[in-house]
Structure 1
Amino acid sequence: MSDHSFELKGSLFPLSVLYCQDLSAAAVKTQLQQKLAQAPAFFYRAPVVINVESVTQTPDFAAIAEVFKELELVLVGVCGASAELKKQAQAAGLASLQLSKSKTPAKESKEKETKTEAALAAPVMETKVVEQNIRSGQQIYAKGADLVIRGTVGAGAEVIADGNIHIYGTLRGKAIAGAAGDSQKRVFCHKLEAELISIAGSYWLSDSLQGEYWGKSACIGLQDDKLVLADLL
């Protein structure tokens, strides 16, 4: 008779992946400190994997792990490593993860069909409406619902929804849509100046958002697991 009090099962969790060609401990610390300064609460104790596919020098994984510990991040392991780098990472107590393989057209087509069927079967989400500005330090969460903000989301404020987020004002703080993992959700705002936007675990900080749509109305969604910006129609 099997013992169900102890089970080991495979599962998938969102992990931040660090891409950095200079993997010296000093360079990693400087770059991470700059990112953490933009959204410290979002990254607190966040699990991270380092992509070493394009690294030319041999990293000191033990020193890098100490940097992560000092900055209160969790270094899980590496991906894209050669056989030698795998050994060195494992010697430092890090896991070696596989890079996701490219999807074939047939697989992409099947996934689209599955997503469409799931969307048709999914119940209609409720909508939480907030008719005020969201000030620094405030957090609004629409659990199992879309979120509509009839005002501005200030710097240091955070709005979260399991569904879509609509902001009829300036977005200066953080907006996290699809918080329950639905990659079809989006963020809509009338003026984009965000500190951070996240959809189903994929996120961009303000420096990645500052481009064509910065300071303008925008719609942010996921395409091929990457955030994309478009006009607000």
Structure 2
Amino acid sequence: MTAVEEHTILEFRGRMLMMTVLHLKTLALDALHAQLDKSLQESPDWLRDVPIVLDLPAEGEVSVVELALVLEALRDRDMNLVAVATGTAMPEQEVRALGLGVVTLGDQRTNASRQEKSAARAETPLSTEPAGAAQQTRERIETMVIDQPVRSGQQIYSRGDLIVLAPVGTGAELLADGHIHVYGNLRGRALAGVRGDSSARIFCQQLNAELVSIAGHYRVAEDLPESWRNQPVQISLDGEAMQFMPLKAR
């Protein structure tokens, strides 16, 4: 009997994909258009490439027409929408009919109110503030301190520096206009200088990040130097090159 070589045309691979959650507090189109244009004007190009999950307002029912108009506004701005978060009053089949998947964000809604209290001064109709364009003379207007673990699904943004006195879990995301300090294990995503400040740095006691970014220049987990994994490190930019240095001078 002749052995027949089996050829498969598809293969499933386990891989962690980076996605950003865009939380909309309103579906009012005038306000949405204005905020989108302002945010994208300040954003680097990478925001248009990253997969985005749309988190709709938790209160009230969303109609197919309302969602379709929101999707049109976002897609007209080249935003890469892939899914809508569960928990809306809109049936999943209607979401899928508009060309999007449906995903679960875990305990993000549970944690949202706690984050908003600590970040009240940073609120806008788009609670996930995208990374911004070059703004080298930016004044850091505040420093936010988080003293609890940042868990999967949580997203924290600071208009100044961000200091986390606890571990940052896989699936969590930190964003800051200035520096990011993590006094623990950094397993999630850390994006410093999101409005384009290339002098911003990331400091952590233990580097196991899914993604690190400074002023739009980023590296994902697979691209992090092996010699710096699980190590205390500070990360900075030298031109467009990301530099990794010991947290303390040797």
1:163 matched to 2:163: no
Question: CA separation in 1, counterparts of 2:233 and 2:181?
Answer: 10
Question: CA separation in 1, counterparts of 2:140 and 2:225?
Answer: 33
Question: CA separation in 1, counterparts of 2:216 and 2:189?
Answer: 13
1:127 matched to 2:143: yes
Deviations 1:99-130 (A, max 9, x none): xxxxxxxxxxxxxxxx9xx97x6545421101
Q: Which amino acid aligns with 2:49?
A: A
Are the aligned partners of 1:221 and 1:228 in contact in 2 as well (CA < 8 Å)? yes
Question: CA separation in 1, counterparts of 2:181 and 2:141?
Answer: 14
**% same residue:** 38
1:38 matched to 2:17: yes
Question: CA separation in 2, counterparts of 1:212 and 1:125?
Answer: 35
TM (norm. structure 1) is 0.51
Are the aligned partners of 2:140 and 2:161 in contact in 1 as well (CA < 8 Å)? no
2:158 equivalent in structure 1: 142
Mapping 1:66-145, distance limit 5 Å: 123=139, 125-143=141-159, 145=160
TM (norm. structure 2) is 0.48
1:183 matched to 2:198: yes
Give aligned pairs, total: 135
1:198 matched to 2:213: yes
2:231 equivalent in structure 1: 216
Question: CA separation in 2, counterparts of 1:230 and 1:39?
Answer: 25
Gaps of 5+ in 2: 1-10, 22-45, 51-78, 82-133
Question: CA separation in 1, counterparts of 2:213 and 2:239?
Answer: 15
Question: CA separation in 1, counterparts of 2:208 and 2:228?
Answer: 9
Deviations 1:70-111 (A, max 9, x none): xx959xxxxxxxxxxxxxxxxxxxxxxxxxxxxxxxxxxxxx
Question: CA separation in 2, counterparts of 1:126 and 1:213?
Answer: 30
Q: Which amino acid aligns with 1:38?
A: L
SS in 1 for 2:223: helix
Q: CA deviation at 1:39?
A: 1.1
Question: CA separation in 1, counterparts of 2:156 and 2:203?
Answer: 16
Q: CA deviation at 1:38?
A: 3.1
Q: CA deviation at 1:154?
A: 0.1
Question: CA separation in 2, counterparts of 1:160 and 1:211?
Answer: 24
Larger relative contact order, structure 1 or 2 (CA cutoff 8 Å, min sep 6): 2
Are the aligned partners of 1:174 and 1:195 in contact in 2 as well (CA < 8 Å)? yes
Q: Which amino acid aligns with 1:41?
A: T
SS in 2 for 1:198: strand
Change (3 A) 1:122 1:135: closer
1:91 equivalent in structure 2: none
Q: CA deviation at 1:228?
A: 1.2
* Structure 1 vs Structure 2 CA RMSD: 3.2
Q: CA deviation at 1:227?
A: 1.1
Q: CA deviation at 1:40?
A: 3.1
Q: Which amino acid aligns with 1:128?
A: M
Question: CA separation in 2, counterparts of 1:202 and 1:44?
Answer: 12
